[in-house]
Amino acid sequence: MKKNLPILKLSVPTNYADKRLLNFLRRTLQYSGLLMLFVISMSSRLIAQGTWTAVTAPCPGLSGGVMLVLSDGTVICKSYSGGTDGIGNTFYKLTPDIHGSYVNGTWSAIAPMINTRLYFSSQVLKDGRVYVAGGEYGTGGSSAETYNPLTNTWTAAPAPGAFVSDANSEILEDGRVLQAIVQGTPFLQQNKIYNPSSNTYINGPSCIGYHNESSWVKLPDNSILFVDRNAVTSERYIPAQNKWVADANVPVALYDPYGLETGAGLLLPDGRAFFIGSTGHTAYYTPSGNNTPGTWAAGPDIPNAQGTPDAPAAMMVNGKILCAVSPVPTVSNHFPSPTSYYEFDYSSNSFTRINAPGGGLTSNVPCYYANMVDLPDGNVLYSLQNSNIFYVYTPSGAALAAGKPKIVKGKKINSTTYQLTGKGFNGISEGANYGDDWQMATNYPIVRLTSGTNVYYARTSNWNSTGVARGNKSDTTTLTLPAALPSGTYSVEVVANGIASNPVTVSLFNTPEADATIYAATDESAINLSATLVKDKQIKLYPNPAKDYSNLSFTLEKAANVSLNIVDLNGKQVRSIFNGNMLQGDHSLQVNTSSLASGIYLVKMVTDNQVKTFRLMVQQ
């Protein structure tokens, strides 16, 4: 049911009815001093609103849901194409043009998934592959698979063991995936943990309440927060403890009592989390910064009796949230139409209505049809299910300085591979969010290379972190240059959630030796690379060569977050040893090598401000 619109909530007078209203108000106010104030107010609204632009080329297939930004800057978009059940197993890839424009980009199909899926879990992995699992509809509800962009192939994962359906998922700091299971045991509470390196699942800790239909939000301490389904209780997953702990109660109801749906949850630039409810209520969560409960507070209601019974939202580069909403559900209509659009500004605690893509104020579909993802160019890509017309939303205003990555150092590994070190490579949030039906996080580094008006994207992998809002902690990424990249000098930027670092100028291909430094910041105060937490002489790995195990011992100069992994000589992670906080002092870990093939590996240690690798030989 279409709702009446309060007349002073009009953002931009673009159609005849709006212009009539504007003329009426002008005539009413023309003999008073209020006219000038009104014009100024309307002008500010005109300036504040972003713009929608249709992608020039229609997608070859009708949109079937989630859109994922790959680590090479391209975007794969699920469609209803492929398969025999009408659900679809095909993603179409949107590649920006030579000038970096997604609006003028081109479409191409990637290899079809093994199974058809609609409303499913999705994550971009640390090595650049894509993980999908489940599906409320289709043949893949109880299965999972991964996509390798380098080979354009899908590989089946082992069955998670139950019907995954439209479940949540979240990538952990060590690269594994916490996967919710809808019809598992216990029902609506079970979780598995998927290891991409070994392509295996293990049992994860069960939730305290029901996780189905919820939105998960990653916090700066890497804990994962959600509100229990159809309740006001909340809980968090604590990675170091590998368990869910009860958190504080929410002061408002976010789930509607009919479809038991809710909307997106996002981490705000000020460190709070913001949850948008199907009921039209919203809530703020302030983290404690440790394992004790945080605090909740009611946020503003969405205007015009609107809610979010399954709906996307995207954190934009200016810090505001782009939202799709529809009328609050009723007992007779759980997913009402039409969809309206708002920008939410946390700094003013207010919603501002904006135009719909294609013109007017609404789209005549329920809001669950909509999908969003943050693009590397600072815009938001938008689609509606069953449409092949995609739109790009360009927000107004400048990008947040707090979200800017910083490049501190770059070095060459080989002729096409480089490593960048800096901070902020993961951004200050996960980007866009839909909830349990899809995940489309973009809190990982994208590397853009610019020469004149030409724009290229390198492929990143082996990110040292998948966290958010990491402050001054050191970040690293490996990047592989695109094929046939011309030799020359490039402006290099690291992008996270669409926010780009200051560019640095690098001459590529002109340093033939490996490990050559290609860039070093003149001001490295942001990251103290010289303050080593672990000294080389304090690290011991024995026996080496190893057969079944090797002992790793080291001393930390101070408490730190430590990630330890075994990687092959191509940089691919083959085993996780440890990920979490360690106290100051001596540490000793046993590294299981019994299942590793004979060969040479590297043990990679990442601490808060340094990365160290040391050689491990395995002889079976």
Q: Could you tell me where in the chain the CATH 2.60.40.10 domains are found?
A: 401-520
Confidence (pLDDT) at 526? 34
CB atoms within 10 A of CB 565: 23
> Per the omega criterion (within 30 degrees of 0), is the bond before 338 cis?
yes
Task: Output the pLDDT for position 536.
Answer: 57
Cα–Cα distance, 75 to 93 (Å, whole number): 5
Q: Judge contact between 329 and 278, C-beta under 8 A.
A: yes
State the SS3 of 467-536.
CCCCCCCCEEEEEECCCCCCCEEEEEEEEECCEECCCEEEEECCCCCCCCEEEECCCCCCCCCCCCCCCH
Confidence of residue 364 (pLDDT cuts 50, 70, 90): very high
Range with lowest mean pLDDT among 2-16, 36-50, 169-183, 559-573 = 2-16
Asked whether residue 14 carries a pLDDT value surpassing 90, the answer given is no
pLDDT band at residue 490 under the 50/70/90 scheme: very high
How far is 564 from 173, CA to CA, in rounded Å? Answer: 11
Report pLDDT digits (tens) over 435-462: 899 999 999 999 999 999 999 999 999 9
**Predicted pLDDT of residue 129:** 98
Q: What is the chain's length?
A: 620
Element (H, E) at 556: strand 549-556
- Using CB atoms within 10 Å of the CB of residue 245, give its burial: 0 to 12 exposed, 13 to 18 middle, 19+ buried: middle
Q: Is 3.40.50.720 the CATH classification of the domain at 536-618? A: no
Residue 4 clears pLDDT 90, i.e. is over it: no
- At 509, list the tokens: 């291909």
Contact 463/477 with Cβ under 8 angstroms? yes
pLDDT digits (tens, 9 = 90+) for 598-617: 988 888 888 766 677 778 88
Residue type, 122: S
Burial class (CB in 10 A: 0-12, 13-18, 19+), 617: middle
User: Which H/E stretch holds residue 399?
Assistant: none
Mean per-residue pLDDT, 280-291: 97
How far from each other are the two terminal CA atoms of the chain, in whole angstroms?
A: 69
pLDDT recorded at residue 540: 84
Strand 599-606 to 611-618 pairing: antiparallel
Distance between CA atoms of residues 612 and 594, nearest Å: 23
Listed range (301-305, 463-467, 556-560) with the worst mean pLDDT:
556-560
What would the pLDDT profile of 221-234 be if each residue is shown by its tens digit? 999 999 999 999 99
Q: What is the pLDDT of residue 538?
A: 67
Question: What is the location of CATH 2.60.40.1930 in the chain?
Answer: 536-618
Residue 32 clears pLDDT 90, i.e. is over it: no
Residue 361 tokens, joined: 């104020």
* CA-based nearest residue to 470, from 582, 409, 561, 401: 561
Residues with Cβ < 8 Å from 43, sequence gap 6 or more?
A: none
Mean pLDDT of the region 296-303: 98
Q: Cβ neighbours of residue 320 under 8 Å, at least 6 residues apart? A: 343, 344, 345, 346, 395, 397
Look at the domain 119-289 and name its fold.
Neuraminidase (2.120.10)
197: region left, alpha or beta (phi > 0 left; psi from -120 to 50 alpha): alpha
Residues of the chain with CATH 2.120.10.80: 119-289
401-520 has which fold? Immunoglobulin-like (2.60.40)
What is the average per-residue pLDDT within 463-478?
A: 96
C-beta neighbour count of 297 within 10 angstroms: 12
H helices of 133-258, in order, are none
Phi, psi of 63, deg, nearest 5 = -55, 130
